[in-house]
Amino acid sequence: MMRNGLRISAKSRVSRFENMMEIVFALSAWTAIISVALITAYIFMAGLPPILKIGIPEFMFGIRWNPTAEEPQFGIFPMILASLLGMAGATAIGVPVGLFTAIALAMLAPKRPAAFLRGCIELLSGIPSVVYGFFGLTVIVPFIRIRLGSPTGTSLLAMIVILSFMILPIIVSLSEAALRAVPREYMEGALALGASRIEAIFKVIIPAAKSGIMTSVVLGMGRAIGETMAVIMVCGNIARIPRSLLDTVSPMTATIAKDMSYAGPFHQAALFGIGVVLFLFIIVLNIVLNVVVQRSVAGKQGGP
Amino acid sequence: MNAKRKAKDLVLTVLIWMFSLISAAFLLWMLAIVLSHGLAGISLDFLIGEYNLYRGKNGILPMIVGTLLLIVLTLAVAVPVGVFAAIYLTEYARQGWGVRVIRLATESLSGIPSIIYGLFGYIFFKNTLRLGFSVLSGALTLSIMVLPLVVRATEEALKSVDKSYREASLALGASRLYTVLRVVLPCALPGILSGVILSMGRIIGETAAVIFTAGTVPKIPHVGRLLTSSVRTLSVHLYMVALEEADFTSAFATAAILIGIVAVLNWTAKRIARRMMRR
C-alpha cells in the first residue's frame, strides 16, 4: 500500500514537471515569432514617422541626401538605386559563376578536385564580410583606381565585384543540392536518347532543378542587398546617382552604418527610415522566395 | 554528333571549368593576400597586448576577450532557446498552422540583414531596455540572429534519430520528456554541435549588428561589469583600424586571425559531420 501511494505521488510530480517543460518548449518556439514581431514593430515605429514627416515622395524619390546641411535634404533615391544596381550586378556575375561551379561539383568533377573546390566554397561562406571588404579595399579598389582610371577606385564596380563573390557560396551550395536532387533516370534517359552529357545537363537537369536554383538566386539577392560591412569599405559612400560603373555610390545599408556614428536626432530617425525601406525590399524578396518554394513543393507533388 | 553541337558542348565545358576555377581562385587570391600581409604582423605582443593608440600599442587581447564574452553569452541564450524550440517543433507540436507560423518566423529571421538587427538592437536593447552599449545588448541581438541556425540544425538532428529509439523508450515505460531528453537528444548531439559551431562563426564574423549594440570600446571590461561594459570584437576591430585609423598592418593581421579562426571552425564542423555520416 505504502509503496503504491509513493509511486502515485511521484508520478504526479513527474507529470507536472512534464507539463511545465512542454510549456517551456512551446514558449521557446514562440520566441522566433515574438522576435520578428518586435523587430518589425520597432523598425517601423522608429522609421515611419520621419518618412511621413519628410513626405514619402521626397524621401523615396528625392535625389539629394544632405542631412547635415542648414536646410537638410533627405532624398534616398540614389541609395535605393545603388542597392538595386549592386544586387543586379552581383546576381549577373554571381549566378552564372555559382551555377556553373555547382554543375562542376554535382555532375562533372572527379572526387578529389570536387572535394577541394567544395572546401574552397565552404571557407568562402565562412569568411566574415569585413574581411571581404578589407580585401576589396586593399586589392580591388587600388586595381580599379590604377588600371581603370577611376579617381578614388571606390566605386559601384568594386561593390559589385565583392558582392558577386559574397553570394557565390549560397548559389553554389543550394544549386548543387538542387542538381543532385534530380533523379538519376533523367540523366540516363537523356543520354539514352542521344544527348551528350553537357546537353543533358543544360536541357534536362537544370530545368528539372529550376526551383531550387531560383531559391538560391533569391537568397543570394537578399544577401547582396542586405550586405553592409563589405560594401561600406569599397563603395565610396557618396550618395549620388552613378553615371558609370566607376562612380562612387552609397547603398542603403552603407549609408545607415556610416551615418549612425555621428547622426543627430532627426538624421538618425531618417536612417531608421532607410531601414524601413530596406526592410520592405527584404519582405518583397521573402514573398518571392515563398512563392518559388511553394511552387517547387507543388511541382514535386504533381510530378513523377 | 554534328560539328555545331560539338562546338556548343566544348564552349559550355570550358565555361564550367573556367567559372569553377574563378570561384576557387578568388578564395586562394584572398587567402594569399591576407595571409602574406597579415602573418608578418602577428606577434606575441600583438596577440596578448593591450590596445592603446597614444602609447602606440596595437595588441588585440581586449578584442579577443570581447569576442569570447559575446560568443559565450550569445550561445548561453540562443542554444537553450533554439534547442527547446526545435524539440517543440519536432517532438511535441501537432503539425498545423501554429507550427507553420513558427517555421515562417524562423525563416524570416534568417533573411533579415545584419544592419537591421543592428538598428533593432540599438533602439530596443540599448535604448528602450536601457542596456546601453554593452555585452548584454550585443549578445541579445546576436542570439536572435543565430536562433534560426540553432533551431534548423537541432531540428535536422532530431529528425535523423530513428523512430524506433523513441518507440523503444516509450514502450519501456519512459515518459515523453524522459525519452526526448535522455534518448533522443543525446543521439542528436553532434548535429546540435554543428549548429553551435555555425553560430560561433556567425557571431565572430558579424560586424554591423555588433557595432551598434556592443559598441567599439577596445578595453578588457572590469570583472564586476562584464555584462554591462561595451566591448569591441575582432571583426569590429578590423573595420575600425582599416577605415577609421587606416592602420593596415593591424588590419591585415586581424583579418588573418579571423580567417584562421573560421578555418578551424570549418574543419571542426566537417569532422563532426563526417562522424555523423559514419554512424
pLDDT tens digits for range B180-191: 999 999 999 999
Same domain, B158 and B29: no
Q: What is the largest CA-CA distance in chain B?
A: 78
Same domain, B93 and B199: yes
Question: Per residue in B107-142, is it b (16+ CB within 10 Å) or e — as a string?
Answer: bbbbbbbbbbbbbbbbbbbbeeeebebbbbbbbbbb
Same domain, B189 and B273: yes
* pLDDT confidence band for A6 (50 / 70 / 90): very low
Residue A16: its pLDDT value, please?
A: 85
Among the partner residues A33, A39, A97, nearest to B23 by beta-carbon distance: A97
Cell of A91: 546576381
Mean per-residue pLDDT, B266-274 = 88
Q: Which residues of B touch A18 (CB under 8 A)?
A: 175-177
Residue B9 has pLDDT above 70, yes or no: yes
Please indicate whether, in this complex, the C-beta atoms of A39 and B112 are within 8 angstroms of each other: yes
- Which of A11, A39, A172 would best serve as a mutation to test chain B binding (most B beta carbons within 10 A)? A39
Residue A2: its pLDDT value, please?
A: 44
Beta bridge partners of A66: A73
Report phi then psi at A31, rounded to 5: -55, -40
pLDDT tens digits for range B75-102: 999 999 999 999 999 999 888 888 999 9
Inter-chain contacts counted by CB atoms under 8 A, chains A and B? 242
Residue A267 has pLDDT above 70, yes or no: yes
Cell of A131: 574581411
Least confident of A164-173, A197-206, B42-51, B208-217: B42-51
Same domain, B99 and B170: yes
Least confident of A117-126, A211-220, A290-299, B210-219: A290-299
* Cα dist from A38 to A28, A35, A46, A115, B120, whole Å: 15, 5, 12, 42, 9
> Residues of chain B with pLDDT > 70: what percent?
99
Residue A298: its pLDDT value, please?
A: 64
Same domain, B241 and B262: yes
Residue A4: its pLDDT value, please?
A: 47
Q: Cβ atoms within 10 A of the Cβ of A47, count?
A: 23
Residue B56: its pLDDT value, please?
A: 80
3-state secondary structure of B51: strand
What helix, strand, coil percent values describe chain B, rounded to 5?
Answer: 80, 0, 20
Alpha-carbon distance of A207 to A201, in angstroms, equals 9
pLDDT tens digits for range B97-127: 889 999 999 999 999 999 999 999 999 999 9
Residue A111 has pLDDT above 50, yes or no: yes
Among B56, B61, B55, CA closest to B43:
B61
* CATH code, B63: 1.10.3720.10
Size (chain A), residues: 304
Mean per-residue pLDDT, A214-229 = 95
Averaged pLDDT score across all residues of chain A: 91
> Which one is predicted more confidently, A6 or B46?
B46
Same domain, B56 and B30: no
* pLDDT confidence band for A10 (50 / 70 / 90): low
Alpha-carbon distance of A53 to A131, in angstroms, equals 38
Least confident of A3-17, A231-245, B64-78, B81-95: A3-17
* Domain of B240, in residue numbers: 44-278
Mean per-residue pLDDT, B222-234 = 92
pLDDT tens digits for range A29-81: 999 999 999 999 999 999 999 999 999 999 999 999 999 888 899 999 999 99
Q: Which residues of B touch A202 (CB under 8 A)?
A: 12
pLDDT tens digits for range B27-66: 999 999 999 999 988 999 899 888 988 888 889 999 999 9
Q: Which residues of B touch A278 (CB under 8 A)?
A: 113, 115-116
Give the gap in angstroms from C-alpha B234 to the nearest C-alpha of chain A.
10
pLDDT tens digits for range A136-153: 999 999 999 999 988 889
What is the ipTM score, two decimals? Answer: 0.93
* pLDDT confidence band for B246 (50 / 70 / 90): confident
Residue A182 has pLDDT above 90, yes or no: yes
A107-126 residues touching B, CB cutoff 8 A: 108-109, 116-117, 120-124, 126
What does the CA dihedral A223, A99, B146, A37 come to, rounded to 10 degrees?
Answer: 50
Same domain, B163 and B270: yes
Residue A5: its pLDDT value, please?
A: 45
Residue B169: its pLDDT value, please?
A: 92
Amino acid of residue A171 = I
Q: Which residues of B touch A287 (CB under 8 A)?
A: none
Q: Is A72 left (phi over 0), alpha (psi -120 to 50) or beta?
A: beta
Q: Identify the closest residue of chain A to B216 by CA–CA distance.
A: A261
Please indicate whether, in this complex, the C-beta atoms of B92 and A98 are within 8 angstroms of each other: no
Q: List all residues 6 or more positions away from A12 whose beta carbon is below 8 Å from its beta carbon.
A: none
Among the partner residues A17, A129, A134, nearest to B242 by beta-carbon distance: A134
Please indicate whether, in this complex, the C-beta atoms of A260 and B122 are within 8 angstroms of each other: yes
Cell of B254: 586581424
Helix (H) or strand (E) holding B38: helix B3-38
- Which of B35, B119, B176, B212 would best serve as a mutation to test chain A binding (most A beta carbons within 10 A)? B119
Q: Where are the domains of chain A?
A: 97-251+258-302
Q: Is the pTM of this model over 0.80?
A: yes
Domain count, chain B: 2
Residue A303 has pLDDT above 70, yes or no: no
Residue B98: its pLDDT value, please?
A: 87
Same domain, B87 and B215: yes
Q: Is B55 left (phi over 0), alpha (psi -120 to 50) or beta?
A: alpha
Same domain, B123 and B164: yes
- Which of B5, B6, B14, B20 would best serve as a mutation to test chain A binding (most A beta carbons within 10 A)? B20
Give the gap in angstroms from C-alpha A212 to the nearest C-alpha of chain B.
16
Alpha-carbon distance of A56 to A59, in angstroms, equals 5
Residue A169: its pLDDT value, please?
A: 95
Among B140, B143, B145, B115, CA closest to B228:
B140
Burial label, B248 (beta-carbon count in 10 A; 0-12, 13-18, 19+): middle
Alpha-carbon distance of B73 to B62, in angstroms, equals 16
Q: Identify the closest residue of chain A to B118 by CA–CA distance.
A: A257
Residue B77: its pLDDT value, please?
A: 97
Q: Is B206 on the interface with A (CB under 8 A)?
A: yes
* Cα dist from B256 to A159, A269, B228, B250, whole Å: 22, 37, 29, 10
Q: Cβ atoms within 10 A of the Cβ of A113, count?
A: 15
Same domain, B54 and B27: no
Task: List the CATH code of the domain at A97-251+258-302.
Answer: 1.10.3720.10
Alpha-carbon distance of A225 to A84, in angstroms, equals 7
Report phi then psi at B58, rounded to 5: -115, 25
Alpha-carbon distance of A120 to A111, in angstroms, equals 14
Same domain, B114 and B172: yes
Gyration radius (Cα) of chain B, Å: 23
Residue A302: its pLDDT value, please?
A: 43
